[in-house]
Structure 1
Amino acid sequence: MTESLRIAALVLALGAAMPSTASADRVEDKATFDVVIRGISAATLAFSALEDGNRYAVSGLLKSAGIAAMFRKISYTGTARGAVSGTRYTPSSYVEDSDNGKKKSTSKMTYTRGVPSAVQYTPAREGRDKDVDPATMGGTVDTLTALYAILRDVDAGQECKVNLKMYDGRYVSSIAIAKPQAKKDAVLCSGQYQRIAGFKPEEMAERTTFPFTLTYQPAGNGRMRVTEIAMETIYGKAAMKRR
């Protein structure tokens, strides 16, 4: 995972939005979120997704914004495709292009029956002793698929039902969201992002779990929409707020 996308994932465990349109076989979602760390605008995160029958496709864009962009411009674009059944996602391909302000890189993952079968990096990355074997990562999803699974609109009564294990070719982590609590028209969820494997020893020693809260608001037509995710991170208080 690129450093920029890792920060976004931490905020999760931490322009306008187009209303969803839904039919029996087709669902579309599109939204933009502002990423704020310690009260300072740090980035914007946008995604566009389509579920058609039992297939899904999602694209995402993360880029630095505000004061953060003045010091270091970073960007990430990604696409993911695969199969979906209820809340279960099985990726078939994932591609990301990133620019961390110092270098540009591309990574690709392909899957065979839900198991990552090939991981390619351009430029090539050196192997590390703690690298995770892709063949052991069956049942995981890529980071972009996980973001979509968390941020997508859902039917009322289906909030807070996310439990995913993520693998991006190097890092393994998980996100779980549960315990819905009604607050007037809103629904609040308790969540946790957890580092599992592939991280540096100092990262694991620093912290492995990141609790967060997620807020849904009515989106119309019996649907609920994520409007904010907030958490305490190693960088201070952080939030993602939907435009």
Structure 2
Amino acid sequence: MSWAGRRVVDQEVSVRAQRAWWDRAAGDYYTEHGAFLGDRGFVWGPEGWTEAELGLIDPAGMPPGPLLEIGAGAAQCSRWLAGEGAAVVATDLSGGMLAQARAIDRAAEPVPLVQADGSRLPFAAGSFAAVFTAYGVIPFVADSGAVMREAARVLLPGGRLVFATSHPIRWGFPDVPGRAGLTVTQSYFDTTPYAECDDRGQVTYVEHHRTLGERVREVVAAGLELVDLVEPTWPSRNEHEWGGWSPLRGALIPGTAIFVARKPDGRARG
């Protein structure tokens, strides 16, 4: 009998489950959300704000160098940045998602694709001016602190880590877009993961939660400086619902948190 609920899931099980789930779901995910995301568009989250609007990966504030996307999915964000003239590499744990990216590349500007675990990156230290992800990796791994440390390792001094993930406040509410999703039903402080299991008891999908304070401490523990924490409002132009994200909920509580961090370069900042 299949099952879904809260249970402890370690890093190894999380990685195995996510790779298999996204391999299976890649085509359906693109069919459902591809029009919203675009084939070469950089959308930070279900609210619909784009990198062109928010400017969080700011070349003026970073050293020169290539950019790295982790949890890239079909690499829409990387493809947009490449179109803007950036040198960018897109990575994802799932071969299925990268296959979807290659299918898009046949009709759009291709980007380099690498299959990689975001917590174990196959790149040398100091390789990239920025590491970024829009809802990739961070909520899907048990050891998200390792992701921060890997990002810090591959960043150049002065480089930037920018990641969007579910806003921690959402963990206390049901994951539904209507009024039933406006009442707190579980503790914000309970960080037991949400997991789905098949009829053999094998974990097939998992999401991990951190409080806002825990997420900030992960960034700082990786040796990074927190520059900004963006909590995007829901724009009036967006009438789209995506899971528990909706105009109704977005008008009342934040759905996304975007963390902007910097690797120190040893120079005093005035």
TM-score by length of 1: 0.31
**Between Structure 1 and Structure 2, which shows a larger proportion of strand residues?**
1
> Which has the larger share of helix?
2
Larger radius of gyration: 2
Structure 2 length as normaliser, TM-score?
Answer: 0.29
Structure number with the bigger relative contact order (C-alpha 8 A, sep ≥ 6) is 2
